[in-house]
């Protein structure tokens, strides 16, 4: 299996070394095609990426998978999603993902994704667990495995009403990107939200209960402008206000209950629905869970 990972970057010298290391040091039976798109940074972002590119080309840095290639492009773009779309247009791998230039993958992330997608060909996109780091790369909040309904994703509920689908821990097959049309490059903040809605029209999202990535919380990052983010979301999708209020009320009631009661209450509140979950038996063997109640009982 070959991973194509895209990183859009602009003046990212402070963190991009950690991001690059988190990609190229992954261990397992796969190859990595790493595409870095630099928006003509004025700091050392491009120099740092070139350093790793030269080391990989010369074979002077250790790798722990079949092959790692780093492709660096320094060219103007009209925004992050324009760069991302250009990156995936160049991608040749079977599995895609993007990681921003201040976020990072955890060791073993690609291995568990590779084993899961190899074992279950029906899975076209997969969401692992995102944890949260600060400006000093210290984890300040461990993530959890959430379950996602395909119809709720398509309705645009994740983000405005329900938990976000964090982009840094999502992987998908190249065929799904092609079938869905990919990301809208004209967006500036919520291209991930647009992409998840497009994916959900084709196939369900599977949740993987493995820690795969870290999102960095720092000052002056684009994602901190939540008002602008939600305004852009509204331009993409108008969430049904009656459905939104109904879900908020039900979630509020359920979250007040003791944990053992929540799975059954979810079934009552939201009706019968098949959730898609991959558990890791003994921490290594991916096992697909099809039963709704069992999935909820294990995750809530």
pLDDT digits 0-9 by tens, 58-84 = 999 999 999 999 999 999 998 999 999
Query: For the purposes of burial, counting CB atoms within 10 Å of the CB of 212, is it exposed (0-12), middle (13-18) or buried (19 or more)?
Result: buried
Give the domain range for residue 194. Answer: 2-299
Closest by CA position to 18, among listed 100, 125, 119: 100
51 contacts 17 by C-beta, under 8 angstroms: no
User: d(Cα 153, Cα 198) in Å, to the nearest integer?
Assistant: 9
The mean pLDDT value for 39-60 works out to 96
Say whether pLDDT at 238 is over 90.
Answer: no
The CATH number of the domain holding residue 282 is: 3.90.550.10
Output 152 or 292, whichever has higher pLDDT: 152
Report pTM: 0.94
Say whether pLDDT at 223 is over 70.
Answer: no
Q: How confident is the model at residue 99 (pLDDT cuts 50, 70, 90)?
A: very high
Place of tokens 């979630």: 251
Domain count, the chain: 1
Q: How confident is the model at residue 145 (pLDDT cuts 50, 70, 90)?
A: very high
How many other CB atoms are there within 10 angstroms of residue 107's CB atom? 13
Closest by CA position to 224, among listed 114, 106, 135: 135
* Rounded alpha-carbon distances, angstroms, from residue 126 to 191, 199, 230, 277, 292: 18, 11, 24, 9, 18
């Amino acid at each position: 299996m070959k991973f194509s990972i895209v990183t859009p970057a602009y003046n990212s010298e402070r963190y991009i070394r950690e991001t690059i290391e988190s990609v190229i040091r992954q261990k397992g039976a796969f190859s990595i095609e790493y595409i870095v798109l630099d928006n003509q940074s004025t700091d050392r972002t491009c120099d740092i990426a070139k350093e790793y590119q030269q080391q990989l080309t010369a074979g002077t840095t250790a790798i722990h998978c079949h092959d790692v290639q780093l492709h660096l492009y320094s060219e103007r773009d009209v925004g992050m999603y324009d760069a991302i779309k250009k990156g995936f247009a160049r991608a040749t791998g079977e599995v895609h993902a993007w990681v921003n230039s201040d976020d990072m993958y955890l060791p073993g992330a690609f291995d568990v994704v590779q084993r899961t997608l190899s074992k279950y060909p029906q899975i076209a996109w997969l969401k692992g667990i995102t944890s949260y780091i600060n400006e000093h790369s210290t984890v300040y909040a461990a993530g959890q495995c959430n379950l996602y309904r395909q119809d709720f994703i398509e309705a645009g509920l994740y983000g405005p009403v329900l938990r976000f689908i964090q982009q840094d821990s999502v992987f998908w097959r190249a065929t799904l990107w092609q079938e869905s049309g990919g990301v809208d490059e004209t967006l500036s903040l919520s291209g991930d939200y647009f992409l998840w809605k497009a994916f959900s029209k084709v196939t369900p999202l599977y949740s993987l209960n493995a820690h795969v990535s870290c999102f960095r919380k720092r000052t002056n990052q684009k994602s901190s402008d939540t008002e602008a983010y939600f305004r852009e979301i509204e331009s993409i999708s108008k969430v049904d206000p009656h459905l939104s209020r109904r879900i908020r009320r039900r979630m509020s009631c359920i979250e007040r209950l003791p944990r053992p009661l929540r799975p059954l209450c979810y079934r009552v509140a939201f009706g019968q629905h098949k959730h898609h979950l991959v558990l890791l038996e003994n921490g290594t063997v991916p096992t697909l869970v099809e039963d709704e109640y069992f999935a909820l009982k294990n995750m809530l």
